[in-house]
Structure 1
Amino acid sequence: MNIETKNIDTITVMKLIETNRLYALNAGVAKEKMNEVLSVPKSKLIVDFEAISFIDSSGFGALLSALKTSKEHKSQIKLCNINKDVMELIELMQLDSIFDILQNPTACINSFSKAE
C-alpha cells in the first residue's frame, strides 16, 4: 500500500493507492501519515476513499486517532468518495455524525473555503 498526497493551496489531499482496503495491515501507516499532517496547527486534510471498498476496526481506529489529533491541534479533517458499503458501516457506528463527509475532494475544498 502506498499513500499518495498532494497539496492544493493549504489543503493536503491524501489517497490510499494500490489497495482497496483500510485494515489491520495498513491502518498504522495511514494513521501515522494522517497524524503527521494534522499535528501541524490549523492544517487541513482531505482523505479520499475513492479506492477503498473495505474498512475494519483498525481502519476506524486510525480515523478516530486522526480526528483526535485534529482537535488537539485545531486542524480539520474531511472524508470523501466513500462507497456505499463503507458508508453503511460508518453510519452503523454513527461516525457520520462526528466526521465531515462530502461527496468528492472539490466539495471538501469548497467547504473549507466557506468555513474560514
Structure 2
Amino acid sequence: MAEALHFEEQTLGDVVVLILQGRFDATAALPVKNRIRSLMDEESRYFVVDLGKVSFIDSSGLGALVAALRHVTNSDGDLRLANMTDKIQQVFSLIRLDKVFNVYPDVASAVTSFEE
C-alpha cells in the first residue's frame, strides 16, 4: 500500500514551512493547495515547502505546487522549495520546474532568503 502524504507546519518569523512526507500525488494535491490558501486567508504570504521526505511526486503534486506558487505570487508573496532529494530534483529538472521555483538546499537557507 502506498504511503499517503502527511504534512506538518512550522512558522519561523513571517515564513510558514510546510514539511511534506510521503507520496505527493493526486490524492494529496488538493489538501496541500487548500491548506496554503487557508494560510493565506490568515495573512501568511511567505512559504517554504520542505520536500526532503517526499518519496514520490507526480504531475498532480507538481501542478499543486505551481498553482500554489501562482496564487501566492499574485498576492505579493512567494513560495520556495527546500531540501529536495536527488530523485525529486531529477523530476523538477526534467520538466524544467527548477527554473520556475527558487530551490534551496535546506529549510534554513530558504527561510533566510526571504530576509534578503
TM range (shorter): 0.7 to 0.9
What is the root-mean-square deviation in Å for CA atoms of aligned residues? 1.6
* One-letter code aligned to 2:110: C
**2:13 maps to which of 9, 22, 27:** 9
In structure 2, what is the equivalent of residue 111 of structure 1? 113
Give the aligned length.
Answer: 112
Unaligned runs of 5+ in 1: none
Q: Which has the higher strand share?
A: 2
Structure 1 residues 90, 38: closer, same or farther in 2, change over 3 A? farther
Partner Cα separation in structure 2 for residue 2 and residue 85 of structure 1: 19
Residue range with higher mean Cα deviation, 73-82 or 24-33: 24-33
Distance 2:41 2:74 in 1: 8
Q: 1:17-54, CA deviations, whole angstroms, 9 ceiling, x for partnerless residues?
A: 4xx21001111111111233346667110000111021
Percent of matched pairs sharing the same residue:
26
Q: Is the 8 A contact 1:50 1:83 kept in 2?
A: yes
Segments of 4+ moved more than 6 angstroms: none
TM-score, normalised relative to structure 1: 0.88
| Aligned counterparts of 1:98 and 1:79: Cα–Cα separation in 2 | 11
Letter in 2 for 1:35: R
Q: Deviations over 1:45-64 (max 9, x none)?
A: 00001110210010011001
Per-residue Cα deviation, 1:65-114 (whole angstroms, up to 9, x for no partner): 10110121011101001111111110111111110100111001111111
1:46 is aligned, of 42, 48, 52, to 48
Q: Secondary structure of 2:81's match?
A: strand
Unpaired segments ≥5 residues, structure 2: none
Q: In structure 2, what is the equivalent of residue 33 of structure 1?
A: 35
